[in-house]
Amino acid sequence: MLIAAPTALLVVVGLALAGGGGDGGGSKDVAGGSTSTTAAAGADVTSGPGGETGSATSGPSGAGGAGGVAGGSGAGASATTGPGGALGGPGTIAFASRRFGTPGVFIVTDEGMGEKRLTEAQGEYFTPVWSPDGKRIAFASRRVDNTDVYVVNADGSNEKRLTSFAGNDFDPAWSPDGKRIAFTRQTNTAKPATDVYALDAGGGGERALASSGDDEFGPVWSPDGTRIAYTRVTGAEAAIWVTGPDGSGARAFVTPPGQNLSPTWSPDGTRLAFVSNRAGNADILVVGADGLGAKALTSDPGEDLSPAWSPDGRRLAYISTRNADRDVRIVDADGRNDHAVAANRSEEATPVWSPDSARIAFVSDRDGTRQIWFVTPEGLSLRPLTNGPGPDFDPRWRPS
């Protein structure tokens, strides 16, 4: 599905807010996804507000599609050392899976070894995100008839449910100091609406940060923790807003024309990348920390989605549909050296960088089932990290 007009983009947002997306990827491809990893707006075409790809069918924050095939792997193998270290070290990747019988949040080394399931309850799982210290993982899970935000230790112990709203809570995003978690809340009404909330990482202290009556979703913290960017949809347009961590000082940051989605801060907090169709189709743009001087990094006829900064701030990975499928591409932060690193007659999604900027994990169905893969920025060492029955999605690298 190509997005060529503002109306089409908002159709995707509508699907997402109604519960689209999920079984395949992250972070952030068209309206609805960041996260980004992960952020809401800007995930894959089939993304929910949680930013993870999949079929736009059931469940917010990406709960789409039917679960995998029988025989999923459970808590697995021995912790084997990869380049980032042992399972649980900096080279560990968390991901969500819908494996039949064993859905949940999993971790695996960046060598594809030591896979372990951290959660036990049956249900749908989305957007696992590491705490800044790498000791806990927040995620969204739908277990009965609504979705809530949970946290679990990186070894699978002490799982705790943080929200118990009658509607749906998803898209968790840790504050840089690890003390608060922002998230998106979808009201359970005849016409569901979404707002941005935050609470203490241990539970309690819940408060609304953005609840204007428009749809607001996909919160992402600035690196210094002083601002939260999110998407606000008004009629046929979408803008990026920022607010203080307590909900004060909310203001429009990137405004129409067109739809402006999928905000993601640069590692040093001086720039914000986002997706916009102001030129007629979805491109990746960057803007200064003051919201001024927007510059397009891509301008091809395809749809460019899911921007993800490298930790060194030099490049962005993204998803592009310019070749009639969905490929992983990289572009320098100044718009130069745009090139594909994972191109195939398949669907790729959710690129996320390793802490050392040396590798990119992403979701691909090139082997027939959505699995987690990785590749170098030069397009080398392409290989799968997971090989279970899938589908696997929403990869997130543990912080270094």
How far is 309 from 190, CA to CA, in rounded Å? 38
Location of structure tokens 């979408």:
238
**Is it true that the peptide bond before 391 is cis, omega within 30 degrees of 0?**
yes
Q: What is residue 91's three-state secondary structure?
A: coil
Nearest to 309 by CA among 25, 45, 36: 36
pLDDT-derived band at 85, boundaries 50, 70, 90: low
Mean pLDDT value of segment 323-334? 93
Q: Give the pLDDT of residue 188.
A: 75
Structural domain contains residue 167: yes
How far is 219 from 207, CA to CA, in rounded Å? 14
Straight-line distance from the first to the last Cα atom of the chain, in angstroms, rounded to the nearest whole number = 36
Here the CATH number for the domain that contains residue 18 is 2.120.10.30
Structural domain contains residue 38: yes
Q: Give the pLDDT of residue 20.
A: 35
Mean pLDDT value of segment 4-13? 38
pLDDT in tens, 215-233: 999 999 999 999 999 999 9
Structural domain contains residue 366: yes
How far is 162 from 151, CA to CA, in rounded Å? 7
Cα 24 to the center of its chain, rounded Å: 11
Q: Give the pLDDT of residue 328.
A: 97
Q: Give the pLDDT of residue 65.
A: 30
Number of helices (H) and strands (E) in the chain: give both, helices first: 1, 28
Number of domains, the chain: 1
Domain that holds residue 57: 6-65+112-397
Nearest to 319 by CA among 277, 291, 347, 293: 347
**Is residue 4's pLDDT more than 50?**
no
Q: DSSP alpha helices (H): ranges in 291-381?
A: none
pLDDT in tens, 127-162: 999 999 999 999 999 998 899 999 999 999 999 999
Structural domain contains residue 74: no
Structural domain contains residue 82: no
pLDDT in tens, 33-74: 333 333 333 333 333 333 333 322 233 333 333 222 223 333
How far is 188 from 200, CA to CA, in rounded Å? 23
pLDDT in tens, 16-36: 333 333 443 333 333 333 333
Structural domain contains residue 90: no
Structural domain contains residue 85: no
